Amino acid sequence: MKVFQVNLDCNRDITDATIPETAFRLYFFKKAAKYTINGCETNVSANSAIILGAGGKKDLRFPPRQDLRFDCISFSPSTEDKEFMTSIKLPVNTPVRIKDEFSLLSSFIEIKNNFVCQETYTDTLLELHLKIIFVLISKFHTSIFPKSNDLIPRYSELKKIRRSIYEKPSLEWNATDISLKLGISRSYLHRLYTEAFGITFIRDVIESRLTRSCELLTSTDLSVSAIAEKCGYENDSYFMRQFKKYKNCTPSEYRRMAENND
């Protein structure tokens, strides 16, 4: 599996002459969108994924002035990868509504981080995370998997809270306020949150802030100090220490590596 480019939180279509025509393209639409491919117009709802094969990728068009927000990965699967995609009945050129978008987004983020940093076993990690995305898309397309999350108490409310955390990471998120809002204890909130999303509430708040900071580092010229503030950090030094701890590089190093990979 060869990954050519990873773009997060795009608001316009991606054009890159270095990406071969034989490449596939994976889109995850965070907002509802309308596009034309091979002359056919398609409406896609928010939180939907689509994998475009080599034949139709270059003909994708979005209407002008459309309010877009999506992630995109350009990749080239090997023969073995294509056999895997076929074996799990992965739909191509077909939009798939993703019920639990956070599972998908976490893999997008890991792919972006590994693509930027290019460390040992990067290619292996990129392939594994892409295959996770493939399985998730196939899962929601076929709807044959048990809906275990529906059995978790307060899941729909927790999911809305998690979406808000990732949409507004600069806010002061704390377990006390949320537990009071839900009318449950802090310890019960922490247990439900971890059971629902496989990550603790505190760690998820950190991930939301670091995810936004990575987006701003690669898509803007804002200073590290300004980015820290926009991501909910009152102290630049703490932001840089936390970024280094979880991303294994400083914000400035991350920005340079992202520029070198463009």
Q: What is the DSSP string of 178-199?
A: HHHHHTS-HHHHHHHHHHHHSS
Looking at residue 59, its pLDDT comes to 55
For the domain spanning 149-262, the CATH number is 1.10.10.60
Q: Domain-by-domain residue ranges, the chain?
A: 2-142, 149-262
Query: DSSP string covering 64-133, please?
Result: TT----EEEEEEE--HHHHHHHHHTT--SS--EE-SSHHHHHHHHHHHHHHHHH--TTHHHHHHHHHHHH
This model's pTM is above 0.75: no
Give the tens place of pLDDT for each residue, 165-198: 988 999 999 999 999 999 999 999 999 998 888 7
- Do the beta carbons of residue 134 and residue 88 sit within 8 Å? yes
pLDDT of amino acid 56:
53
- Strand-pair partners of 27: 50, 72
Q: What is the mean pLDDT of residues 194-220?
A: 88
Q: Which helix (H) or strand (E) holds 77?
A: none
Predicted confidence (pLDDT) at residue 50 exceeds the cutoff of 60: yes
Q: What is the DSSP string of 136-151?
A: HHHHHHHT-S--GGGG
Render pLDDT for 90-124 as a digit per residue (tens, 0 to 9).
988 888 988 878 878 888 988 988 888 877 788 89
CA distance 134 to 132: 5
Rounded to the nearest integer, the mean pLDDT of the chain is 85
What pLDDT, on a 0 to 100 scale, did the predictor assign at position 68?
Answer: 81
Is 90 exceeded by the pLDDT of residue 261? no
Written out in words, the top-level CATH class of the domain with range 2-142 is mainly beta
